[in-house]
Structure 1
Amino acid sequence: MATISDIGVAAAINILTAFAFFIVFAILRIQPVNDRVYFPKWYIKGLRSSPLGTGAFVGKFVNLDFRSYVRFLNWMPAALQMPEPELIDHAGLDSAVYLRIYLTGYDGSLLCLV
Protein backbone atom coordinates (compact mmCIF):
# COMPACT_ATOMS: atom_id res chain seq x y z
CA MET A 1 0.00 0.00 0.00
CA ALA A 2 1.27 3.43 -0.91
CA THR A 3 2.01 5.91 1.83
CA ILE A 4 1.36 9.63 1.72
CA SER A 5 5.03 10.30 0.99
CA ASP A 6 4.93 7.89 -1.97
CA ILE A 7 1.90 9.69 -3.38
CA GLY A 8 3.59 13.04 -2.80
CA VAL A 9 6.74 11.97 -4.65
CA ALA A 10 4.68 10.63 -7.55
CA ALA A 11 2.66 13.85 -7.71
CA ALA A 12 5.83 15.98 -7.63
CA ILE A 13 7.38 13.97 -10.45
CA ASN A 14 4.19 14.25 -12.54
CA ILE A 15 3.89 18.00 -11.96
CA LEU A 16 7.55 18.66 -12.79
CA THR A 17 7.35 16.51 -15.93
CA ALA A 18 4.16 18.26 -17.09
CA PHE A 19 5.75 21.66 -16.46
CA ALA A 20 8.90 20.68 -18.38
CA PHE A 21 6.86 19.45 -21.37
CA PHE A 22 4.81 22.66 -21.32
CA ILE A 23 7.96 24.82 -21.37
CA VAL A 24 9.43 22.77 -24.23
CA PHE A 25 6.15 23.14 -26.16
CA ALA A 26 6.11 26.89 -25.60
CA ILE A 27 9.71 27.32 -26.75
CA LEU A 28 9.30 25.11 -29.82
CA ARG A 29 6.07 26.91 -30.73
CA ILE A 30 7.82 30.26 -31.26
CA GLN A 31 10.67 28.93 -33.40
CA PRO A 32 10.32 29.90 -37.10
CA VAL A 33 11.25 26.45 -38.37
CA ASN A 34 8.21 24.94 -36.57
CA ASP A 35 5.62 27.34 -38.02
CA ARG A 36 4.13 24.76 -40.36
CA VAL A 37 3.61 22.35 -37.46
CA TYR A 38 2.01 24.80 -35.02
CA PHE A 39 0.17 27.10 -37.46
CA PRO A 40 -0.91 24.99 -40.48
CA LYS A 41 -4.19 26.84 -41.04
CA TRP A 42 -2.34 30.14 -41.37
CA TYR A 43 -0.27 28.68 -44.20
CA ILE A 44 -3.36 27.37 -45.98
CA LYS A 45 -5.07 30.77 -45.69
CA GLY A 46 -1.89 32.54 -46.84
CA LEU A 47 -1.41 34.49 -43.61
CA ARG A 48 2.12 33.10 -43.18
CA SER A 49 4.89 32.10 -45.52
CA SER A 50 7.86 29.84 -45.01
CA PRO A 51 10.65 31.48 -42.95
CA LEU A 52 13.22 29.35 -44.78
CA GLY A 53 13.08 31.60 -47.84
CA THR A 54 13.87 34.92 -46.14
CA GLY A 55 16.14 36.40 -43.50
CA ALA A 56 19.50 35.48 -42.04
CA PHE A 57 20.52 31.83 -41.81
CA VAL A 58 20.19 31.56 -38.03
CA GLY A 59 16.94 33.56 -38.05
CA LYS A 60 15.32 30.90 -40.23
CA PHE A 61 15.63 28.28 -37.51
CA VAL A 62 15.84 30.14 -34.17
CA ASN A 63 13.67 32.98 -32.92
CA LEU A 64 16.13 35.76 -32.07
CA ASP A 65 13.50 38.13 -30.65
CA PHE A 66 14.04 37.64 -26.92
CA ARG A 67 10.89 39.60 -26.05
CA SER A 68 8.81 36.76 -27.50
CA TYR A 69 10.34 34.39 -24.94
CA VAL A 70 9.05 36.62 -22.14
CA ARG A 71 5.50 36.82 -23.48
CA PHE A 72 5.20 33.27 -24.82
CA LEU A 73 2.07 32.58 -22.74
CA ASN A 74 0.08 35.63 -23.87
CA TRP A 75 -2.08 33.47 -26.15
CA MET A 76 -3.61 31.50 -23.26
CA PRO A 77 -6.07 34.07 -21.83
CA ALA A 78 -7.32 34.93 -25.32
CA ALA A 79 -7.82 31.25 -26.17
CA LEU A 80 -9.71 30.60 -22.93
CA GLN A 81 -12.06 33.56 -23.53
CA MET A 82 -12.63 32.89 -27.24
CA PRO A 83 -16.04 31.44 -28.19
CA GLU A 84 -15.81 27.83 -29.33
CA PRO A 85 -16.82 28.37 -33.02
CA GLU A 86 -14.22 31.13 -33.34
CA LEU A 87 -11.60 28.93 -31.68
CA ILE A 88 -12.36 26.11 -34.12
CA ASP A 89 -12.00 28.51 -37.05
CA HIS A 90 -8.79 30.00 -35.69
CA ALA A 91 -6.93 27.05 -34.16
CA GLY A 92 -8.83 23.92 -35.20
CA LEU A 93 -11.15 21.35 -33.75
CA ASP A 94 -8.38 19.56 -31.84
CA SER A 95 -7.58 22.75 -29.90
CA ALA A 96 -11.24 23.31 -29.04
CA VAL A 97 -11.63 19.71 -27.81
CA TYR A 98 -8.42 19.95 -25.78
CA LEU A 99 -9.59 23.17 -24.09
CA ARG A 100 -13.00 21.63 -23.37
CA ILE A 101 -11.33 18.63 -21.70
CA TYR A 102 -9.00 20.94 -19.77
CA LEU A 103 -11.84 23.18 -18.57
CA THR A 104 -13.97 20.19 -17.60
CA GLY A 105 -11.12 18.84 -15.49
CA TYR A 106 -10.52 22.29 -14.00
CA ASP A 107 -14.21 22.70 -13.09
CA GLY A 108 -14.26 19.21 -11.60
CA SER A 109 -11.25 19.93 -9.44
CA LEU A 110 -12.89 23.11 -8.17
CA LEU A 111 -15.98 21.13 -7.19
CA CYS A 112 -13.82 18.74 -5.17
CA LEU A 113 -12.42 21.65 -3.18
CA VAL A 114 -15.84 22.94 -2.17
Structure 2
Amino acid sequence: MTQTTLAPAPSQLRVPSRGRLTGVRVRDFRRGAWTGPTDRISRADVLLQRTPDGDVAVLSRTGALLGLLPTSWVRSVDFDLWTAERRGATAVAQAYLGGSREESDLFVLLGWTGR
Protein backbone atom coordinates (compact mmCIF):
# COMPACT_ATOMS: atom_id res chain seq x y z
CA MET A 1 0.00 0.00 0.00
CA THR A 2 1.32 3.41 -0.95
CA GLN A 3 1.26 6.05 1.72
CA THR A 4 0.21 9.46 0.50
CA THR A 5 1.61 12.52 2.15
CA LEU A 6 -0.04 15.88 2.20
CA ALA A 7 1.80 18.97 1.12
CA PRO A 8 3.00 21.07 4.05
CA ALA A 9 0.35 23.38 5.42
CA PRO A 10 0.75 26.96 4.26
CA SER A 11 2.06 29.20 6.98
CA GLN A 12 -0.60 31.81 6.19
CA LEU A 13 -4.26 31.77 5.27
CA ARG A 14 -5.77 34.95 3.83
CA VAL A 15 -8.93 36.20 5.53
CA PRO A 16 -11.62 36.64 4.32
CA SER A 17 -12.04 33.62 2.09
CA ARG A 18 -15.36 34.87 0.70
CA GLY A 19 -17.70 37.86 0.50
CA ARG A 20 -17.37 41.49 -0.52
CA LEU A 21 -14.72 43.43 1.40
CA THR A 22 -15.75 46.02 3.94
CA GLY A 23 -13.69 47.96 6.48
CA VAL A 24 -14.43 47.00 10.10
CA ARG A 25 -13.26 49.35 12.86
CA VAL A 26 -11.01 47.70 15.46
CA ARG A 27 -12.11 48.14 19.11
CA ASP A 28 -9.64 49.58 21.61
CA PHE A 29 -7.05 50.38 18.92
CA ARG A 30 -3.56 50.77 20.41
CA ARG A 31 -2.02 53.40 18.16
CA GLY A 32 1.45 52.99 19.69
CA ALA A 33 1.61 49.33 18.60
CA TRP A 34 0.89 50.11 14.92
CA THR A 35 4.02 49.72 12.78
CA GLY A 36 2.28 49.79 9.41
CA PRO A 37 2.03 52.69 6.96
CA THR A 38 0.64 55.93 8.34
CA ASP A 39 -0.83 57.29 5.11
CA ARG A 40 -4.51 56.77 4.40
CA ILE A 41 -4.23 54.73 1.19
CA SER A 42 -1.75 51.98 2.10
CA ARG A 43 -2.64 48.64 3.63
CA ALA A 44 -0.66 46.30 5.85
CA ASP A 45 -1.04 42.68 6.92
CA VAL A 46 -2.36 41.97 10.41
CA LEU A 47 -2.86 38.66 12.18
CA LEU A 48 -6.21 37.50 13.54
CA GLN A 49 -6.28 35.18 16.53
CA ARG A 50 -8.99 33.87 18.85
CA THR A 51 -8.71 34.74 22.53
CA PRO A 52 -9.76 32.52 25.46
CA ASP A 53 -12.62 34.99 26.11
CA GLY A 54 -14.16 34.33 22.69
CA ASP A 55 -12.95 37.58 21.12
CA VAL A 56 -10.76 37.91 18.04
CA ALA A 57 -7.52 39.80 18.61
CA VAL A 58 -5.94 41.88 15.86
CA LEU A 59 -2.15 41.60 16.09
CA SER A 60 0.74 43.25 14.29
CA ARG A 61 3.19 41.06 12.34
CA THR A 62 5.43 41.17 15.43
CA GLY A 63 2.60 39.84 17.62
CA ALA A 64 1.78 43.12 19.40
CA LEU A 65 -1.90 43.52 20.28
CA LEU A 66 -3.50 46.24 18.15
CA GLY A 67 -7.09 45.78 19.36
CA LEU A 68 -10.10 43.50 19.03
CA LEU A 69 -12.70 42.88 16.35
CA PRO A 70 -16.19 44.06 17.26
CA THR A 71 -18.21 41.28 18.86
CA SER A 72 -20.72 41.38 16.00
CA TRP A 73 -17.95 40.40 13.53
CA VAL A 74 -16.43 37.51 15.50
CA ARG A 75 -18.91 35.01 14.08
CA SER A 76 -18.26 36.25 10.53
CA VAL A 77 -14.59 35.23 10.66
CA ASP A 78 -15.10 32.09 12.73
CA PHE A 79 -14.95 29.67 9.78
CA ASP A 80 -11.77 31.25 8.40
CA LEU A 81 -10.08 31.12 11.81
CA TRP A 82 -11.17 27.51 12.33
CA THR A 83 -9.79 26.61 8.88
CA ALA A 84 -6.46 28.29 9.65
CA GLU A 85 -6.19 26.48 12.99
CA ARG A 86 -6.90 23.10 11.36
CA ARG A 87 -4.16 23.74 8.78
CA GLY A 88 -1.67 24.99 11.35
CA ALA A 89 -1.64 28.34 9.57
CA THR A 90 -1.80 31.95 10.69
CA ALA A 91 -4.92 33.93 9.70
CA VAL A 92 -3.79 37.09 7.89
CA ALA A 93 -6.02 40.03 6.91
CA GLN A 94 -5.44 43.46 5.39
CA ALA A 95 -5.74 46.59 7.56
CA TYR A 96 -5.53 50.34 7.03
CA LEU A 97 -5.70 53.55 9.04
CA GLY A 98 -8.73 55.82 8.75
CA GLY A 99 -9.81 59.12 10.24
CA SER A 100 -7.72 62.18 10.98
CA ARG A 101 -4.00 61.87 11.63
CA GLU A 102 -4.46 62.94 15.25
CA GLU A 103 -7.30 60.52 15.97
CA SER A 104 -6.80 57.67 13.53
CA ASP A 105 -8.61 54.36 13.79
CA LEU A 106 -7.58 50.96 12.48
CA PHE A 107 -9.86 49.13 10.05
CA VAL A 108 -9.59 45.47 9.02
CA LEU A 109 -10.96 44.36 5.64
CA LEU A 110 -13.41 41.52 6.24
CA GLY A 111 -15.88 39.70 4.01
CA TRP A 112 -19.52 40.74 4.02
CA THR A 113 -21.70 37.96 2.65
CA GLY A 114 -24.96 39.88 2.96
CA ARG A 115 -26.51 37.39 5.38
TM-score scaled by structure 1?
Answer: 0.28
Higher helix share: 1
Q: Which has the higher contact order (CA 8 A, sep 6+)?
A: 2
TM-score scaled by structure 2?
Answer: 0.28
- Which structure would you say has the larger Rg? 1
Higher strand share: 2
